Amino acid sequence: GAILTDSFATSNWYQYYLAVMWYKERFFAICKDKGLAILG
């Protein structure tokens, strides 16, 4: 696995990760609300 440095929580990569996770959750919530089923 990956070994993270102490500064990872303040890095741009961590901010990118948080944004991706937020958009993913929001996207699936909207799809569910609109009746769109996404097979996984």
Helices marked H in 1-40 — which ranges?
A: 12-33
Chain segment 1-40, per-residue pLDDT in tens: 889 899 999 999 999 999 999 999 999 999 999 999 887 6
CA distance readout (Å), 27 to 8, 16, 18, 40: 26, 16, 14, 14
Q: Tell me the pTM.
A: 0.59
pLDDT at 1: 87
**pLDDT on residue 7:** 94
Domain ranges for the chain = 1-40
pLDDT at residue 14, rounded to an integer? 94
For residue 31, give Cα distances in angstroms to 11, 21, 25, 26. 31, 15, 10, 9
- Report residue 19 as tokens: 């944004």
> Looking at residue 40, what is its pLDDT?
66
- pLDDT value at position 36? 95
